[in-house]
Structure 1
Amino acid sequence: MRTNASYTLLFILLGIPQLLLAQITVQGRVRDARSLRPLEGAAVTANTGPQALTAADGSYHLTVPDTTAFLLITYLGFAPDTLTDLQQPGVRQTLLQPTVAVLQEVQVQGYETNRPLLQTAGAISVIDSEVLNRFDESSLVRAVNTVPGVRMDERAPASYRLSIRGSTLRSPYGIRNIKLYFNGIPLTEANGTTALNLLDPANIGHIEILKGPTASIYGAGTGGTILLEPMRLNQGQQLEVNATTGSYGYRHYGASYSAGSEKGNLLVQYTRQQYDGYREQSAVDRKVLLLSSEFYTSAKRTIAANIIYSDLYYELPGGLTREQYAQNPRQARSGMFGSVAQNASITQDGLNIGLKQTYTFNSNWRNTTAIYGLHRFKDNPFNTDYERNTDQEMGGRTSFVHNSRVGSLPVTYTFGGEFQRGFQTARTYDNKGGTPDSLRTDDEVVSKAGFLFAQAEVELPAGIIATAALSLNDAQYQITRLRQALTGNGYQYTRNFNAVLSPRLALLKPLTNQVSVHASISSGFSPPTEEEILPSDGSFNTGLEAEKGTNYEAGIRGFAGHGKLNFDVVGFYFRLKETIVSRQDLSGVAIFRNVGSTRQAGLETSISYALVNDPALPLSLLKVWGSYTYSHFRFQDYQKDATDLSGNQLTGVAPNTATLALDAAAKNGLYLNVTGNYVDEIPLNDENTVFAASYVVVGARAGWRKQLAKQLALEMFVGGDNLTDQQYSLGNDLNAFGGRFYQPAPDRTWYGGLSLKYKL
């Protein structure tokens, strides 16, 4: 018996290592594939039974039998993922793709607080890659116009005009009164304008829109702020090629290399877009090379760099009268000074280089500093003149974030500044059949713009978040006229817009863990742009003053039904003084002036509901969503010559707009996106005697995504725009001389294409 017991003990001792080898420990980290933030509480379940939940940093440790085939990782609002090859050593990185945009999970930069949208006090809308990819890559217009309170027009293909809460009023063309940043680096120039059309829509993967005066963090502005982010691959390496073709000679080609890891990410992307045009003199040819990188050089330092080179040519068909618009909307402006006869067009070459560093000193201090430089050449034969401009600019932005406490209350302080200096040589000639003739004016313009800002955000009891912010804004133009045709004399003119303090106060209160309310008061200061002070007719608009306004708003946002229902409602009242409006003169040049004031009250709503959201079902996604905007915008104290226009509707603003959309996807890779957009009638002159008719347009895109092999994925798609075949004007000329108000949009159009992705 003793011998048998000895054998038994020896067998057990020899078997213990084998028992230990029969189990393995898997370590990993789970993060959001879009924001890269860790996901706490994700379930990690082995097919053999053991389960663990991720910690606050997204990490987990799970001991499982060595016979385990896979781990299933799940998290509410994200597509599940599986891990195989569990014998591989090291910490595994899992990036979960969001499915339904649950508000408590949608992280926004906002006012540099980087909080979930549900905890951010302010009217912020997000356009993610899912919305951008609903449409072809010819334009951002259709994606941006799904956002309540925001309006984007194209007076001609690639000729963007952007409005937030009525700021179209002072933008007969281009983008003004709105600040744009690309990857945290200023895209708006010191002279107040933004050449957004130098970017291809395919360069942009994420958009945040902050509406109304953003005061503190982003300085001067009464319209709003837009934050653009490039496409990013967070894990692995990928090559992608795509091509799209469509009606009226539309072609779009793209090729990119992207890589992502724990050490950083890199995107190299080349795109080309060509379009023969729906109208006469409306062709486009744009080539863009983008390099965007972000490197995590240490646990404390992140360095990012952007290089954007763009070569853009687009034609300007010009506005039509109501009779021409009804007779033949495809024609261009005609006559001796017609668009075809004068080759009305714009050629722009631009190079924008930006560097950004984020350095975390410790758990309480962080700094982000960006510097940039740009060079841009513009050649613009117009109907009545010919402009040739060269711009050079440099600037920088820095912000510090300090986490502290006041007693027992957590407080975050953010402070810093931004400065830009631009130098432009601007020459205007007579236009002789599309070539420069006699010199009219020769100017040099130095633009300077800067501001300092400070913000304190405190977390009060009952979950209330209070924010107090202040910015000090300054702007200056130094114009040197080297020569003027009529006199031959030159002179200098300097215009300072004195430093103005712009405050912002905001409160947010969570009603439940699913619903929050917010309210804010903010003021804005918006000096005229260089093009408003120095229009192309050669005059100096010396009397033009900066706009100043105060905005009051309150809103509620939240979700219900485990994230299936999302809603966001904001009401606001905006009082603007020294409002800048535009009016065309006899030659078609836009001239600007201040009017007394405007009163702008509005309601912005958005809602979405996911009827089905389960990747395991044959119909894996069925979602409806939409937005509605009501704008009660009126002039006040507006006296034009002997006519009192007080009480009239704001020019260029539709009282009602709405979007309704449907998304459907199947497990086999088929998908369908349908989008309908309604726009109410729009007043086209300050007198409110001419209106653009209301319209409804519908677009759709259907496609099929298939993983052909482990490394190769294919997408094929077809789509159509303006399926209702509406005749409408997208980008009306406001207060146009000679009744040339209308810029017709294309009729029913079609497109189709494919994309190939290869994982290296």
Structure 2
Amino acid sequence: MNRYLLIFIALIWINLLEAQSISGKIRDSHTGEAMGNVEIENIQSGRIVYSDSLGLFSLDGINYPLEVRFSYLGYKDRIRLLRSPKASLDVFMEREIGQLSEVVLRSTNIPRQLIRTPAAVSLISKNDLERSDNINLVQNFNYIPGVYVNQGALNTNKINIRGIGSRAQYSTNRIKAYINGIPLTTGEGELTLDDFDPEFLDGIEIYKGPVSSVFGAGLGGAINLYTERKTDNLRSVNGDFTYGSFNTRKTRMNITYVKDSLDLSVNYNKIDSEGYRENGDYDRISMTANAGLLNKKGNYWSFLYSYTNLKAFIPSSLNENDFLNDPQKAAFTWGQAAGYESYSKNLVGLSYEHKFSQNLRNQTSVFFSSRDGYEPRPFDILDDDRSSVGIRTKFNLETSLFRKPAQFSFGSEAMLEWYDIANFENLYEESDIPESVQGELLSQNHQSRNYINMFGQVNMDLSSKLLLELGFNFNTTAYSLEDEFAEDGVDQSGDYRFDPVFSPRLGLSYEVSSGKNFYTSVSHGFSTPTVAETLTPEGLINTDLQTEKGLNYEVGFKGNWLNNRLYTEVSLYSIQINDLLVARRVGEDQYVGLNAGKADRTGIEFTSSYVSSFTEDFQLNLFLNSNLNFYEYDRFVDRGEDYSGNEIPGTPQYMISPGIELNFQELSAHLNYQAFGEMALNDANTEYTDPYQLLNLKLNYDLHLSRGLDLGLNFGINNILDEHYAASVVTNAVGFGGAAPRYYYPGNPRNYFGGLSLKYML
């Protein structure tokens, strides 16, 4: 009798299990709006239901563990693995790139859709980052109109936006950058983005032209990186390995844990490469951790930590003969000195978003960064140590002004930075083997920098079609110098201050018809000299340098066509720069900065993307980006030479980049073409690079192996045409002792890569 009772209970229990159901709500991840008619598929049974107009859905007759796929045209598919019953399921859907115009920009003081923002802003989505190899983040920027990256090596990248920063020698300056709102640009204006793993980023927003009213000292623009904020309950482990030409290897591990209001992700990666050129070995370890916590009142805490340890040898630039005939060699003195760059870096940031009411909220971030660097060079050895602390706070208020809806934003950002720098003799010529040998101290300085930005912005709907945007920034920057080297008999110790800078901005956006907007803007920007620009060859500080200032005038159009499948954007701009900061070469690989006149930068930029789904399994995406530049000195006289009217060196005259992406079931193919025009190599315009073109291919194959286990395979070819080109240049190179000037960094020849990844959802 007991046996039959147990069987009866078991049958009832099995029946109850089979009768289980789950319900939930589906929303847009950017706007939070409910999404109706989303396809919800029980992968095990193949049963399909759809969400209603409120985004609600229900699945009956399910067994656990359960895998559910959520699909909607124009959005990325989402797969959820559920191992136990849930009271309710919240699902957030992310838009595909074809919906560019509707993306809400996260970096602006007042969030707004891209199509209604009166500024030139380019987006690099997570999907864009997957179109190229996963080794070098900044290579993806060269597909953006108005942006050009000189890539001398994995650790020698120089970004310029609309030509600003093109005359910097070996690093990026005049551009502000943030990750999750935490500043990456140093207090003295330098920026390194090579340390971040592109596979850990969710997207990038690039603001082109002066952006002082929003971000402070960024005459060229601003780059904002974002890590992914997970919203669905998830526990996963990823492991990736990539191998490429020149014995390049990348190993990556990622752990993600999301439960209720807590989201945590930790990413580790290691990259090793022998490099295409001699003295080109590269070794980097980096780790990034990101965590978020949403409390019961809807306020959000977020934490970011990033660590990088790098040692990268430097082959340096070549003269024209070596560039054409022996591009793999290193510059002789750099090879003899075995010159390299090494550093360890830490970045810590803590942010808090607080909602005082439905209409008033605040976001405050505090941050700390440090860098300990050592760089042996043929002409000296640089030992530097930098650390900084800062805070950024921003209030947003929604109200009305003159009976019109208006949004206000106001706040401030402050940073205090300490910089210790020492230069030593390099006695590499006394060594029997290629190596650097530290000699006597040549100079030693301690510099403290601080800046304060106060900013404000108001957005106002003057009518249902016309948007007004007004903004300002007020900046004060000062530094104190302690000269700790008495042997030279010169003491430059003292307190120095740049003149305060007020930077206004005016923007208008007008909707001529649904999904089609014209805009115009005028904005002011500035950049302060970097430490490297203030140093003379003797290690002294040039205290006479002033901030570089510019005005940007711009008109543009943003529009959707063909039922939102085609997005186009065109902008025309002119940037007038005064107190132009330029680098004068005074020795082999040595430069000094000076304010040298006025420059005009005028250009046209075009962006377009088209998405078409022929069937549920087959999708075609097309892209076309391009720009045409007219950059010249309006007034520039140096050492009696008048360069007024000459082309500004360091930026290609044009860029054209069409691309195609095919998605068929689990397979995707990406083919990208780039054509770059010639660029001037010196202020006299006596030397130019040749135009060049690149063709790159990447194939991805994603396979669902079993419940909770996914496999990814990829293979790619860079520079399919095996083009011989200059990937980076040194402007105004000068030959000393009868040697030819070394302008060129050779680009990599045709090269290959491939990798695999495993993802396990717990």
Structure-1 separation of matches of 2:176 and 2:81: 47
Could you tell me which amino acid in structure 2 is paired with residue 30 of structure 1?
I
Give the corresponding residue for 2:670: 673
Structure-1 separation of matches of 2:79 and 2:440: 70
Structure-1 separation of matches of 2:298 and 2:183: 24
Give the corresponding residue for 1:299: 297
Structure-2 separation of matches of 1:220 and 1:460: 30
Shift of residue 342, structure 1, vs aligned partner:
1.1
Structure-1 separation of matches of 2:552 and 2:716: 40
Structure-2 separation of matches of 1:704 and 1:415: 47
Give the corresponding residue for 1:544: 545
Shift of residue 118, structure 1, vs aligned partner:
1.4
TM-score using structure 2 length: 0.91
Give the corresponding residue for 2:481: 479
Structure-2 separation of matches of 1:87 and 1:741: 63
Deviations 1:73-99 (A, max 9, x none): 664422466999999563222232433
Tell me if the contact between 2:239 and 2:757 (Cα under 8 Å) persists in the aligned partners.
Answer: yes
Tell me if the contact between 2:21 and 2:62 (Cα under 8 Å) persists in the aligned partners.
Answer: no
Query: Any residues of structure 2 matched to 1:55-454 within 5 Å, and which?
Result: 55=54, 59-60=55-56, 75-79=72-76, 90-235=87-232, 236-334=234-332, 338-433=333-428, 434-454=436-456
Structure-2 separation of matches of 1:751 and 1:73: 32
SS of residue matched to 1:737: coil
Give the corresponding residue for 1:9: none
1:32 to 28, 32, 38: 28
Where does the alignment leave 5 or more consecutive residues of structure 1 unmatched?
1-21
Shift of residue 197, structure 1, vs aligned partner:
2.7
Structure-2 separation of matches of 1:685 and 1:262: 58
Does 2:569 correspond to 1:568? yes
Shift of residue 202, structure 1, vs aligned partner:
3.4
Tell me if the contact between 1:141 and 1:153 (Cα under 8 Å) persists in the aligned partners.
Answer: no
Deviations 1:390-420 (A, max 9, x none): 1111111000011111243111110000011
SS of residue matched to 1:217: helix
Structure-2 separation of matches of 1:247 and 1:74: 38
Structure-1 separation of matches of 2:49 and 2:83: 14
Give the corresponding residue for 1:468: 470
Structure-1 separation of matches of 2:704 and 2:544: 63
Where does the alignment leave 5 or more consecutive residues of structure 2 unmatched?
1-17, 42-46, 429-435, 736-740
Structure-1 separation of matches of 2:214 and 2:403: 26
Does 2:579 correspond to 1:578? yes
Tell me if the contact between 1:477 and 1:494 (Cα under 8 Å) persists in the aligned partners.
Answer: yes
1:711 to 708, 712, 721: 708
Could you tell me which amino acid in structure 2 is paired with residue 708 of structure 1?
L
Tell me if the contact between 1:672 and 1:700 (Cα under 8 Å) persists in the aligned partners.
Answer: yes
Deviations 1:414-471 (A, max 9, x none): 0000011111111100112212101000110101122100111112213321111111
Could you tell me which amino acid in structure 1 is paired with residue 217 of structure 2?
A
Sequence identity percentage? 24
Deviations 1:110-159 (A, max 9, x none): 42222221121210000011111111122123311110000112222222
Could you tell me which amino acid in structure 2 is paired with residue 498 of structure 1?
D
Cα distance change, pair 595–613 in 1 and its aligned pair in 2 (3 A): farther
Deviations 1:174-199 (A, max 9, x none): 11000000111111111111232333
Cα distance change, pair 665–383 in 1 and its aligned pair in 2 (3 A): same
Query: Any residues of structure 2 matched to 1:533-682 within 5 Å, and which?
Result: 533-535=534-536, 537-612=538-613, 614=615, 616-617=616-617, 620-667=618-665, 669-682=666-679
Shift of residue 718, structure 1, vs aligned partner:
1.0
Tell me if the contact between 1:256 and 1:268 (Cα under 8 Å) persists in the aligned partners.
Answer: yes
Structure-2 separation of matches of 1:709 and 1:86: 14
Tell me if the contact between 2:551 and 2:577 (Cα under 8 Å) persists in the aligned partners.
Answer: yes
Structure-2 separation of matches of 1:475 and 1:743: 35
Could you tell me which amino acid in structure 1 is paired with residue 447 of structure 2?
V
Cα distance change, pair 577–61 in 1 and its aligned pair in 2 (3 A): same
Deviations 1:633-690 (A, max 9, x none): 11011112222111111110111111111111111x1221111111100101111111
Tell me if the contact between 1:283 and 1:315 (Cα under 8 Å) persists in the aligned partners.
Answer: yes
Structure-2 separation of matches of 1:173 and 1:72: 48
Tell me if the contact between 2:188 and 2:528 (Cα under 8 Å) persists in the aligned partners.
Answer: no
Could you tell me which amino acid in structure 2 is paired with residue 587 of structure 1?
E
Structure-1 separation of matches of 2:56 and 2:476: 51
Could you tell me which amino acid in structure 2 is paired with residue 471 of structure 1?
N
Cα distance change, pair 51–431 in 1 and its aligned pair in 2 (3 A): closer
Tell me if the contact between 1:428 and 1:536 (Cα under 8 Å) persists in the aligned partners.
Answer: no
SS of residue matched to 2:334: coil
Could you tell me which amino acid in structure 2 is paired with residue 660 of structure 1?
P
Could you tell me which amino acid in structure 2 is paired with residue 643 of structure 1?
E
Tell me if the contact between 1:43 and 1:73 (Cα under 8 Å) persists in the aligned partners.
Answer: no
TM-score using structure 1 length: 0.91
Could you tell me which amino acid in structure 2 is paired with residue 531 of structure 1?
A
Could you tell me which amino acid in structure 1 is paired with residue 450 of structure 2?
K
Could you tell me which amino acid in structure 2 is paired with residue 758 of structure 1?
Y
Structure-1 separation of matches of 2:182 and 2:726: 34
Tell me if the contact between 1:247 and 1:751 (Cα under 8 Å) persists in the aligned partners.
Answer: yes
Deviates more, 1:187-196 or 1:718-727: 187-196
Tell me if the contact between 1:169 and 1:581 (Cα under 8 Å) persists in the aligned partners.
Answer: no
Deviates more, 1:603-612 or 1:643-652: 603-612
Tell me if the contact between 1:444 and 1:479 (Cα under 8 Å) persists in the aligned partners.
Answer: yes
Cα distance change, pair 326–46 in 1 and its aligned pair in 2 (3 A): closer
Could you tell me which amino acid in structure 1 is paired with residue 125 of structure 2?
D
Could you tell me which amino acid in structure 2 is paired with residue 744 of structure 1?
P
Could you tell me which amino acid in structure 1 is paired with residue 405 of structure 2?
P
Structure-2 separation of matches of 1:315 and 1:84: 45
Cα distance change, pair 298–498 in 1 and its aligned pair in 2 (3 A): farther
Does 2:522 correspond to 1:521? yes
Could you tell me which amino acid in structure 1 is paired with residue 686 of structure 2?
T
Give the corresponding residue for 2:717: 720
Tell me if the contact between 1:234 and 1:259 (Cα under 8 Å) persists in the aligned partners.
Answer: no
Report the RMSD for the aligned CA atoms in angstroms: 2.5
Structure-2 separation of matches of 1:412 and 1:522: 19
Structure-1 separation of matches of 2:754 and 2:253: 17
2:461 to 459, 462, 465: 459
Could you tell me which amino acid in structure 2 is paired with residue 757 of structure 1?
K
SS of residue matched to 2:308: strand
Tell me if the contact between 2:98 and 2:611 (Cα under 8 Å) persists in the aligned partners.
Answer: no
Cα distance change, pair 97–485 in 1 and its aligned pair in 2 (3 A): same
Deviations 1:465-485 (A, max 9, x none): 111111101111212111054
Structure-1 separation of matches of 2:691 and 2:198: 27
SS of residue matched to 1:312: strand
Tell me if the contact between 1:632 and 1:655 (Cα under 8 Å) persists in the aligned partners.
Answer: yes
Tell me if the contact between 1:439 and 1:485 (Cα under 8 Å) persists in the aligned partners.
Answer: no
